[in-house]
Amino acid sequence: AATSIIIIRQSALDRFNETPGTFKIERIGGPAVPAPLSGETISKGLATSAQFVSGIATTFADWTRLFAQHPNAFPAIDQSMFQKGGGAKDIYYAHAYWKIAPDEAWVIEVTPPECYYWNFQLDNWWMESLDYRFRQITVNKHSARYEADGSIRIICAASDPGTGNWIDTSGHTEGTALLRWAGATEHPLPAARIVKLKDL
């Protein structure tokens, strides 16, 4: 079958100072001038697009409902499920569903394994990342503050408690979260708990 989709993932440890890659697709076969669009071609294209959107929405909604069965925790989930959805085989995906009150914080603790990249991010119900352009919604191997023993403690809350590794819930009180270990041979799952923000 002909290839119909290409996915390119680019990871940045420091996106403000790294130069992003550039990619070019060049057609090397086929007619120089494409044939005029036919009704059949347009119909097929629209149907394929609708099927893609419906499939993505259904998949992510099903995943979120699965994560929500274990609120504020990172359950062990068969990685083949994520790979079928386009996940890279050298990345371990730890997903969670979080729900906190405005005066609470979600505290996540883990010791990152040896790997070329890791990151944690907060997402909405549809597993779309919150707005990383204007909000601190992610932390990674480069930007994290580490404890003396090599562990990290991530604080997800509506306001910054000043303890480091703060993740802004950006006006949301629930959603999904993702932790990725890339190129790791060990895949620890974080411990997570809800505390009062004032107690941090």
Q: What CATH code is carried by the domain that includes residue 182?
A: 2.60.120.600
Contact in structure between 125 and 98 (CB atoms under 8 Å): no
Tell me if 152 is assigned to some domain: yes
- Given pLDDT bands bounded at 50, 70 and 90, which one contains residue 168? very high
Tell me if 20 is assigned to some domain: no
Tell me if 195 is assigned to some domain: yes
State pLDDT tens for residues 40-57: 999 999 998 999 899 889
Q: What is the mean pLDDT of the chain?
A: 93
pLDDT of 83 > 60? The answer is yes
The 3-state secondary structure of the chain reads CCCCCCCCCCCCCCCCCCCCCCCCCCCCCCCCCCCCCCHHHHHHHHHHHHHHHHHHHHHHHHHHHHHCCCECCCCCCCCHHHHHCCCCCCEEEEEEEEECCCCEEEEEEECCCCCCEEEEEEECCCCCECCCCCCCCEEECCCCCECCCCCEEEEEECCCCCCCCEEECCCCCEEEEEEEEECCCCCCCCEEEEEEHHHC
How many structural domains does the chain have? Answer: 1
Tell me if 17 is assigned to some domain: no
Distances in Å between the Cα of 44 and the Cα atoms of 7, 57, 171 are 21, 20, 40
Q: List, as own/partner pairs, every contact residues 66-72 make where C-beta atoms lie below 8 angstroms and the sequence separation is at least 24, other chains included.
A: 67/95, 67/96, 67/97, 67/176, 68/97, 69/97, 70/96, 70/97, 71/97, 71/98, 71/99, 72/96, 72/97, 72/98, 72/99, 72/100, 72/106, 72/192, 72/193, 72/194
pLDDT given at position 1: 54
pLDDT of 197 > 60? The answer is yes
Tell me if 156 is assigned to some domain: yes
Tell me if 25 is assigned to some domain: no
Give the global pTM.
0.85
pLDDT given at position 31: 85
Of 8-17, 52-61, 185-194, the one with minimum mean pLDDT is 8-17
Domain range holding 141?
66-199
Tell me if 76 is assigned to some domain: yes
Tell me if 22 is assigned to some domain: no
